[in-house]
Structure 1
Amino acid sequence: MESKADMKRHLILVTAKRIIHEQGITNLTLDAVAKKASISKGGLLYHYPSKEALMKGIAIAIFEDLENCMAKYAEKDPIEKGKWTRAMIEVTKDDLQHNAELNVAVMASSLLDEAVAESISNSYQTALTKLDNDGISPITASVIRLALDGLYYSQMLGVAPLNNTRQRAVLDQLIQMTRQGDI
């Protein structure tokens, strides 16, 4: 069971991500988060004493969610070889269908603070290590990872994003790549 403090931190992070997603990073202020979360600014500052601390908290939470979701998908996958790579594809597919909240928050976080960017990089590297040791060619896993990153960035930046049909076809092709021999 979560403690009251854990529940409050969760509320703060969810609210901050929502503000970033709906209004952009420039509108993320501690006052805005406190107001939207219906908590006092002092209560917010108790858990996150600065905007940078809040952004780092967002980044950590996002990658914990990524790892947990990947683990759930991998656990359900009956085929051992490539299961972590397929899990990352499935997590990406889910997130892209929900406005790429994961990547928007990560990008916003990394732009603010070098320490946050480093934390994000270290967390992502943990996930990528699972792909490298997934039983498929590390090159194939890297190609898949870079394709997923490209899908995110094209959607997030509005640079020729794929329509839903093409996006699903690309994701399906990436899944197939995990089931083929070394490419």
Structure 2
Amino acid sequence: MSNRDRILQTARRLAITTGSVPSLDVVAQEAGVSKGGLMHHFRSRAALLDGIAGQTIDEMDEALLAAAERGDVVETWLRLSLSRDEADLYRALLVSFTDTGSATETLLARAAEASQRWENLLAAETGDSTTAAIIRLLGDGMVMNTVTGEALPSLESVLEWLEPRKANR
């Protein structure tokens, strides 16, 4: 594993366990690299945030593209939406987005582009862009409920509810 990957993995783990993205000093120490080694890859905390978010977007892209090949994008999207680790990571990233600088704007634009890609994969599977948008929003809501700790229906009950809607397309 490269130093960059180890740094991102460490920062992500710390963000999930602590609820916020830690300082560069803490990440460097926990990753077993010097601060200079960390800063070679991430010149600022904002760059580290971008790296974590970018890695998360890339992983979601990979998971949904693999799901598209299997024909289960909807189930994969909803299953990922119920992930406690992902919700904890999103909470940590949200806490860290306290400024509205250009790095945050760029990252939000990147997330919006990724969201559109994922919705397109959902549309390809369901055959309907409105159904795809609703499923994407359902997943987004499930993530938010997981972040806030609200009760969620089981994945099985959601998939059961969706089944007749998929059959009507």
Is the TM-score greater than 0.5?
yes
Q: Identify the range of structure 1 (8-17 vs 168-177) with the bigger mean alpha-carbon deviation.
A: 168-177
Amino acid at match of 2:160: Q
For the 8 Å contact 1:12–1:44, the answer to whether it is kept is: yes
The offset of 1:36, in angstroms, is 0.9
> What secondary structure, in the 3-state scheme, does the structure 1 residue paired with 2:125 have?
coil
Q: 64, 83, 88: which is aligned to 2:77? A: 88
Unpaired runs of at least 5, structure 2: none
1:148 maps to a residue whose letter is: G
Please tell me whether the aligned partners of residues 21 and 101 of structure 1 are also in contact (alpha carbons under 8 angstroms): yes
Mapped to 2, the partners of 1:146 and 1:131 lie a distance apart of: 11
Greater RCO structure (CA 8 Å; 6+ sep): 2
- Give the match for residue 167 of structure 2: 180
Aligned residues: 165
Q: State the match for 1:151 in structure 2.
A: 142
Match of 1:134 in 2: 125
Alignment RMSD (CA, Å): 2.5
After TM superposition, the structure 1 = structure 2 runs for residues 68-79 of structure 1, keeping only pairs within 5 Å, are: 68-77=62-71
| Structure 1 portions without partners, runs of 5+ | 78-82
Identity of counterpart residues, as a percentage?
Answer: 25
Partner of 1:61: 55
Q: TM-score, normalised by structure 1?
A: 0.76
Q: Cα–Cα, structure 1 residues 76 and 178, in superposed 2: closer, same or farther, change >3 Å?
A: farther
Determine if contact 1:59/1:105 at 8 Å carries over to the other structure. Answer: no
Measure, in 2, the Cα distance between the counterparts of 1:173 and 1:105: 32
Q: 2:107: which partner in 1?
A: 116
- 1:110 shift after superposition: 4.7
